[in-house]
């Protein structure tokens, strides 16, 4: 069924009722406010109550597809730590840890790296109480000194390695529509039947626009994601010690036009207004704009690569082969999982890897070398 068809099947979820009442009383709300409410409303937000990830949830992520993903990110983290000079104490931070699978695989893969486990202070940033409980259960045997925080702003400054898989795509976006003479913000209003519907602010958009906006024909949709707060938090960490971050998400390399807002429920896409609060709501990441936002606060952004390129550089084929040899009864499952991560028909090119670092850290493994320094290859690729 198409997204347009699903628009006729909008459900009056508890959040839809709450938002309709709000709009009736105070007028239309921006798409960014709608997205924020759908995901994080204190009463009915998706991540406040849903078991979102896995075959029994609404979607599946790379760490759930193959343990090789988290293992390679663990070995990547170990090499970066060594590039930092192997500090005796540093933070290993994961934002949006899902069900705890990636961190469990990361820690298992780094157990044999001398000094890494003793130096690493594990911090998980998770606002969802449901997912936080699931993470604590999954990681109970890994370590007993992990810290959970609900906000990135509460992460302490100091030497840090930060991992984030499928986090940027859930940060709310502003959608702008090009009219004949100006750009106008897209809103959520009510139709004649009192149901949620897309609308348009009558006043021209007063905010800044990327240069490409000047070339857009009428009817074009431009998505702008506010990353200022995230960039500020990462810059603060980098200002008090060596810093590196790996952000993996689905998106496009350059700023462009189009409506990428999508809802996923029970592993099927549906109209973004169909089930407020009961479907995952995301939008593609504009990696050009993201890299610029992080560069503006002094971070060095590595050249963007696809997930296939990144995992290939880290040695996913070799890692999977060794795992298959050690677990012959699971060889088919392991091979299929690794293939899905790097296949052009799967996640290999749709997902991208963005590396960030402070200026004192050499070029990060898995990315094309920058002229400032050479990076060692991760242990998994040797």
> DSSP letters of 34-95?
HHHHHHH-TTT-HHHH---BSTTSSB--HHHH-HHHHHHHHHHHHHHHHHTT--SSEEEEEE
pLDDT above 80 (res 54): no
Torsion angle, CA of 219/10/126/247, rounded to 10 degrees? -30
Q: Do both 293 and 308 map to the same domain?
A: yes
For residue 51, name the pLDDT band (cuts at 50, 70, 90): low
Confirm whether 57 is domain-assigned.
no
Confirm whether 272 is domain-assigned.
no
For residue 50, name the pLDDT band (cuts at 50, 70, 90): low
pLDDT above 60 (res 3): no
55 or 33: which leads in pLDDT: 33
Q: Do both 360 and 349 map to the same domain?
A: yes
Confirm whether 50 is domain-assigned.
no
**Mean pLDDT of the region 172-200:** 96
Closest CA to 177 of 214, 216, 207, 219: 219
**Mean pLDDT of the region 38-53:** 81
pLDDT above 80 (res 9): no
Torsion angle, CA of 102/104/110/112, rounded to 10 degrees? -150
Q: Do both 216 and 327 map to the same domain?
A: no
For residue 58, name the pLDDT band (cuts at 50, 70, 90): low
Confirm whether 130 is domain-assigned.
yes
Q: Do both 79 and 126 map to the same domain?
A: yes
Q: Do both 122 and 253 map to the same domain?
A: yes
CA atoms of 205 and 221, how far apart (whole Å) = 13
pLDDT above 80 (res 178): yes
Domains in the chain: how many in total? 2
User: 87, 80 in Cβ contact below 8 A?
Assistant: no
Please give the DSSP secondary-structure letter assigned to residue 287: H
Q: Do both 180 and 291 map to the same domain?
A: no
CA atoms of 171 and 247, how far apart (whole Å) = 13
The pLDDT value given to residue 6: 44
The pLDDT value given to residue 372: 52
CA atoms of 372 and 376, how far apart (whole Å) = 14
User: 361, 355 in Cβ contact below 8 A?
Assistant: no
**Mean pLDDT of the region 348-368:** 97
- Parent domain of 294: 62-171+226-260+279-381
Q: Do both 212 and 158 map to the same domain?
A: no
pLDDT above 70 (res 52): no
Q: Which two tokens stand for residue 342?
A: 């790097």
Measured CA distances, 155 to 48, 238, 251 (Å): 21, 12, 26
- In sign, the C-alpha dihedral spanning 11, 17, 22, 23 is positive
User: 163, 208 in Cβ contact below 8 A?
Assistant: no
The pLDDT value given to residue 77: 98
Q: Do both 144 and 77 map to the same domain?
A: yes
122, containing H or E segment? strand 120-125
> DSSP letters of 138-196?
HTTTT-S--EEES-GGGSPPSSEEEEEES-GGGS-EEEEEE-SSSEEEEEEEE-TTS-E
For residue 56, name the pLDDT band (cuts at 50, 70, 90): low
Measured CA distances, 367 to 76, 134, 255, 347 (Å): 11, 33, 21, 18
The number of angstroms, rounded, from the C-alpha of 356 to the middle of its chain's C-alpha atoms is 14
The CATH number of whichever domain residue 239 belongs to comes to 3.40.50.150
User: 217, 178 in Cβ contact below 8 A?
Assistant: yes
Confirm whether 273 is domain-assigned.
no
The pLDDT value given to residue 60: 82
The pLDDT value given to residue 346: 81
Q: Do both 197 and 126 map to the same domain?
A: no
Confirm whether 53 is domain-assigned.
no
pLDDT by residue (tens digit) across 221-258? 999 999 999 999 999 999 989 999 999 999 999 999 99
If you average pLDDT over every residue of the chain, what do you get? 91
Residues 6+ apart with CB under 8 A from 251: 168, 169, 284, 285, 286, 287, 352
Q: Do both 149 and 91 map to the same domain?
A: yes
Percent of the chain topping pLDDT 90: 85
Confirm whether 267 is domain-assigned.
no
pLDDT by residue (tens digit) across 270-314? 999 999 999 999 999 999 999 999 999 999 999 999 999 999 999
The number of angstroms, rounded, from the C-alpha of 39 to the middle of its chain's C-alpha atoms is 14
Q: Do both 232 and 348 map to the same domain?
A: yes
Q: Do both 141 and 242 map to the same domain?
A: yes
**Mean pLDDT of the region 209-213:** 92
Confirm whether 270 is domain-assigned.
no
**Mean pLDDT of the region 186-210:** 95
Q: Is the pTM of this model over 0.85?
A: yes
Residue with tokens 């976006």: 173
Q: Is 369 exposed, middle or buried (0-12, 13-18, 19+ CB in 10 A)?
A: middle
pLDDT above 90 (res 44): yes
């Amino acid at each position: 069924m198409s997204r347009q068809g699903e628009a006729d099947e909008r459900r009056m979820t508890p959040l839809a009722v709450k938002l309709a009442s709000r709009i009736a009383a105070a007028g239309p709300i921006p798409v960014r406010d709608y997205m924020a409410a759908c995901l994080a409303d204190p009463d009915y937000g998706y991540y406040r109550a849903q078991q979102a990830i896995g075959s029994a949830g609404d979607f599946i992520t790379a760490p759930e597809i193959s343990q090789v993903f988290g293992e390679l990110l663990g070995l990547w983290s170990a090499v970066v730590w060594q590039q930092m000079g192997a500090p005796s104490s540093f933070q290993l931070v994961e934002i949006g840890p899902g069900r705890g699978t990636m961190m469990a695989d990361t820690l298992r893969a780094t157990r044999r790296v001398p000094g890494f486990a003793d130096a690493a202070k594990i911090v998980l940033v998770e606002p969802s109480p449901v997912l936080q409980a699931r993470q604590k259960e999954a990681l109970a045997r890994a370590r007993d000194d992990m810290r959970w925080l609900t906000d990135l702003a509460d992460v302490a400054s100091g030497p840090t390695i930060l991992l984030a898989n499928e986090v940027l795509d859930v940060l709310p976006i502003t959608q702008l529509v090009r009219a004949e003479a100006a750009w106008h913000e897209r809103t959520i209003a009510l139709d004649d039947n009192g149901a949620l519907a897309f609308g348009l602010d009558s006043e021209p958009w007063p905010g800044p626009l990327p240069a490409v906006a000047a070339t857009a024909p009428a009817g074009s949709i431009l998505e702008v994601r506010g990353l200022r707060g995230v960039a500020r938090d990462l810059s603060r960490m980098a200002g008090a010690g060596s810093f590196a971050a790996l952000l993996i998400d689905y998106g496009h390399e350059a700023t462009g036009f189009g409506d990428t807002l999508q809802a996923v429920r029970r592993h099927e896409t549906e109209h973004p207004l169909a089930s407020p609060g009961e479907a995952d709501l995301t939008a593609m990441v504009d990696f050009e704009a993201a890299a610029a936002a992080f560069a503006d606060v002094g971070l060095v952004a590595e050249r963007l690569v696809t997930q296939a390129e990144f995992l290939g550089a880290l040695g996913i084929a070799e890692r999977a082969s060794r795992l298959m040899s050690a677990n012959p009864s699971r060889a088919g499952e392991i091979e299929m999982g690794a293939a899905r991560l790097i296949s052009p028909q799967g996640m290999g090119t749709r997902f991208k890897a963005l590396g960030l670092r402070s200026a004192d850290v050499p070029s990060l493994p898995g990315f094309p070398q920058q002229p400032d320094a050479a990076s060692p290859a991760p242990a998994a690729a040797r």
